[in-house]
Amino acid sequence: MNNILPENIKRLRMEKNLTQKELAYKLGIAGATISAYESGTRVPSITILCKMAAFFSTSVDYIIGYIPPNDKRIMHTLEDEMISLVHETFSNYWTRCNHYF
């Protein structure tokens, strides 16, 4: 299992100087549940992730370790695909029409 989520939950809790029991109380869940999240044996529901994000003043994306793709990389990929498509289209056209020239 990916360790980013458990590590992030533990780090955020420790940054607030909270015990697992204290965090659980603030989120309205059992103390053992935080231990299970931090050990990676359980995964929080989206409801609990949203509560955590609000409590820690961060986003669910950050807690789960999601890193959005770089927009420049996406644009570069799209440009490459468009160039390739234009070359392919021109090549097909040239192959079909070459005998007219």
Eight-state DSSP code of residue 95: H
Q: For each of the chain's 101 residues, which pLDDT tens digit applies? A: 468 999 999 999 999 999 999 999 999 999 899 999 999 999 999 999 999 999 999 999 999 988 766 656 556 666 777 787 787 887 777 777 766 66
- Domain map of the chain by residue range? 4-64, 71-100
Question: Which among 41, 38, 4 is positioned nearest to 21, based on CA atoms?
Answer: 38
Q: Please, how many CA atoms are within 13 Å of residue 47, restricted to the half-sphere of its CB?
A: 3
Residue 4, Cβ neighbours under 10 Å: how many?
Answer: 14
Q: Which residue has the tokens 């029991």?
A: 21
Residue partners of 2: CB distance under 8 A and separation at least 6: 65
What does the pLDDT read at residue 94?
75
Fold designation for 4-64? 434 Repressor (Amino-terminal Domain) (1.10.260)
